[in-house]
Amino acid sequence: MKRPARLKWLLAGVLLLPALAWASGASETFTRTTLLLIVMITLADLCGYIFERLGMAEILGEIYAGILLGNLALVGIDWNVGELLRSSEFMEYSSELALVLLLFLVGLESDMRDLMFVGKNATMVALGGVVLPILLGVGASAALGFASGLEGWFVGAMLAATSVGITAKLLGDNGLVQTPTAEVILGAAVIDDVLGILLLAILASVVVTGEVAFWQLIWIIAKALLFFTCALWIGQRLMPGVVHVVSLSKHASFWTGFALCLALGFAQLAALAGLAPLIGAFVAGLLLDDMDFRVGEALDKHRLEELVKPISDIMITIFFVGIGAQVQLEALFDPGILVVVLALTLVAVLSKGVVGFLVRGDDYDKLGIGFGMIPRGEVGLVFAAFAAANGVFCGETYSALVMVVLLTTLIGPILLKPRLAYF
């Protein structure tokens, strides 16, 4: 359903639901939760639509919707909305499920064959785009007295992430996906995602164990790499046959259910292996990338995202609203926190902006490559959400870092657009 049409139905629901709930004798908890859910999705859709029309990323609008709902008390509206969004069991489970679906979609968007084709330039940009932000992020956090130890490493990991979706959409809208410069950006972003997921696996294990010795750290890295390798090796050999069997049903809904179960199943396998469930969901997405399915009598080349999106869009919208709701605006009134936000944003922009100069050859817009790597988007928010959920980030730290992610997501496309003429 298109966004404007969905908005009309949701607004109608907001007006009618209280009367219907009262007439049916629904419990107060059900009514309150359902109303909150409708308001969340409606406001997120509205803000997302506005941001889209302004030429900005849709997720920014959804996050800002959450910021508004989570901070209503600041303008005298004390309906306990912020507390419900921050601490309810429904939001906690929804966020965990949304993270699994989000990483599943990131895996779907990551084409390993394209990654291998791009080669050395993408690899150099990716490595530089991970190492430099981590080092500068950890160093800047410590120098500012903002975060240290494990908390500082999570800050660095957040700054190392690159959003594939935001940059890819901008390049796709301008018909530049097949240019050499765009291929380096997208290839490097995919490698960054893989390295970021591996880094998340390491940090997640550290969170669980409290502290890690050198040999234990080596074991965590080896375990993550082994899981990736085994899952991809086995999956690539079994998946074509499995897809063929699933396609015999001739129903798209069956395929959708299979894909979601695969994502959840691999997430559980990763958890059993002592890794973050997100790792498994990402691998499941990699396995299903670019596969075809049979609907009716014809073999249609629909990407799997089109089938999963109706479910994932709602869950991920709730997730991003929840992300925004965790932001405590009063914390940002502190001049010290504002200095941290600006300093880390500068680090985030510069550490990615310079990596394009690692590219060899004259056929590339090196400055454009750097600008294309700036947006942190959804991947950076995954790190923030995980750290906050596991008590690594306090409210002030979390609020500041979400603002850093939002600013990079705004700044990246603004800097990249003028460079598209040189692609």
- Where residue 226 sits, what CATH number does that domain have? 1.20.1530.20
Of 51, 66, 86, which residue is a domain's last? 86
71 and 156 share one domain:
no
User: What domain count does the chain have?
Assistant: 2
82 and 101 share one domain:
no
Q: What is the pLDDT of residues 131-190, one digit of tens each?
A: 999 999 999 998 988 887 888 888 998 888 887 667 777 777 778 877 888 888 877 877
62 and 203 share one domain:
no
Residue 300: its pLDDT value, please? Answer: 45
16 and 113 share one domain:
no
Q: Which residues of the chain have pLDDT under 70?
A: 1-29, 78-84, 86-88, 109-119, 164-165, 208-214, 216-217, 247, 249-250, 252, 289-305
Residue 23: its pLDDT value, please? Answer: 47
236 and 125 share one domain:
yes
Cα separation, 280 vs 311, in Å, equals 19
409 and 288 share one domain:
yes
Residue 299: its pLDDT value, please? Answer: 41
Domain of 21, in residue numbers: 3-86
pTM of the model as a whole: 0.74
192 and 47 share one domain:
no
15 and 96 share one domain:
no
Of 24, 56, 86, which residue is a domain's last? 86
256 and 372 share one domain:
yes
Of 86, 107, 131, which residue is a domain's last? 86
111 and 18 share one domain:
no
Residue 17: its pLDDT value, please? Answer: 52
156 and 250 share one domain:
yes
104 and 68 share one domain:
no
